[in-house]
A and B are shown apart, each in its own frame.
Chain A
Amino acid sequence: GQNIDQPTEMTATEGAIVQINCTYQTSGFNGLFWYQQHAGEAPTFLSYNVLDGLEEKGRFSSFLSRSKGYSYLLLKELQMKDSASYLCAVRDGDYKLSFGAGTTVTVRA
């Protein structure tokens, strides 16, 4: 089975930086994904890590440490439109995704 933990809620100010942590314990590992989900909408893909280290994509970066079972998503230069839920998902040895419960980020002016 999978155990994926991430904070329930985070609040930050427009223009600031927020880091969303994700810890996992899984049976087999074939990559970690981050998705963004706005209220009432479908999840959309943000990033993918399979090797240790940092992946940068514009204002968003994602980090992975496989030995620690740890990842974080870094959101820089926060904008109001970044208010959403952020889902951490681990792909197991059977190539199925298991999702954390999600972190709701609220960006305040």
Chain B
Amino acid sequence: IAGITQAPTSQILAAGRRMTLRCTQDMRHNAMYWYRQDLGLGLRLIHYSNTAGTTGKGEVPDGYSVSRANTDDFPLTLASAVPSQTSVYFCASSDSSGTGGNEQFFGPGTRLTVL
């Protein structure tokens, strides 16, 4: 693989179910991020990780959890999905915690529908 990948591409989920969105990067980037994108609201940060073993809360963390066991993987878990979590989810990564001109690279996204 090259770059950053996400799985699944899309998912329809019943409310109350648990769901894990997967994200893997092979660029050896220190920092990784999860965003949700909703019409009219733009991208909003859910959780982030500046380096393996550490995570932090973004703007909209409620209902979501993350882990960062190694450099490459950064899964996002919805413990009990609700319809308001219907969105497109993007994973991103950047080098050196995004300092300097180091831009974030985005995965292709996961379209999640919670019914």
Whether B107 lies near A42 (C-beta < 8 A) is yes
A43, A48, A98: most-surrounded residue (chain B CB, <10 A):
A43
For A, the interface residue count at a CB cutoff of 8 angstroms equals 21
For B, the interface residue count at a CB cutoff of 8 angstroms equals 24
Whether B43 lies near A43 (C-beta < 8 A) is yes
What distance in Å separates the Cβ of B51 from its nearest Cβ neighbour in chain A? 12
Q: How far is the CA of A45 from the CA of B3 in the complex (A)?
A: 14
With contact pairs A48-B103, A50-B101, A91-B98 given, residues A42 and B108 touching in the complex (Cβ less than 8 Å): yes
Inter-chain pairs besides A97-B98, A98-B45, 5 sampled, C-beta below 8 Å: A31-B101, A43-B43, A96-B98, A97-B104, A101-B42
Question: B residues bordering A, Cβ < 8 Å?
Answer: 33, 35, 40-45, 48, 50, 58-59, 90, 97-99, 101, 103-109
Question: A residues bordering B, Cβ < 8 Å?
Answer: 30-31, 33, 41-45, 48, 50, 87, 89, 91, 95-102
